[in-house]
Structure 1
């Protein structure tokens, strides 16, 4: 088995706080889930990054995120 390598992925502050306050075993479960999901996404020839981004955008829009709100969020950072 290959040695673990750390990567940094920006997340919002709420997500970071929840991750940092999680029980001892939850971060490891999250790491394994993300590792498998990233591999799946990058190795899938039927599901491109642009399709993933479109899906995320559609879900965000369905939850009320408008282009104007997104612009405001991006400008605030």
Structure 2
């Protein structure tokens, strides 16, 4: 995975900096999905399946994802 820099509102940047690792992981996962949808004409289901496979390859388990999403 590559890192990029994207300008965001000051409040968002500060909230991200203060977030714990689990919250950051949730934000990064959601941003990856949103950016893939924005730059790729693939159907959303295909993008979500690819994101799921990538998350699993990076150690994400269904239990961890459920825990992250439950923290909303």
- Unaligned 5+ segments in structure 2 are 43-72
Aligned residues: 42
| Structure number with bigger Rg | 1
Q: Following TM superposition, where does structure 1 have runs of at least 4 consecutive aligned residues deviating by more than 4 angstroms?
A: none
Q: Specify which of 1, 16, 20 is matched with residue 19 of structure 1.
A: 16
* Structure-1 separation of matches of 2:34 and 2:9: 19
* Structure-2 separation of matches of 1:41 and 1:12: 19
- Unaligned 5+ segments in structure 1 are 46-77
With structure 2 as the length reference, what TM-score do the two structures score? 0.52
Q: Which has the higher helix share?
A: 2
1:16 positional shift: 0.7
1:12 positional shift: 1.6
With structure 1 as the length reference, what TM-score do the two structures score? 0.49
Q: Which has the higher contact order (CA 8 A, sep 6+)?
A: 2
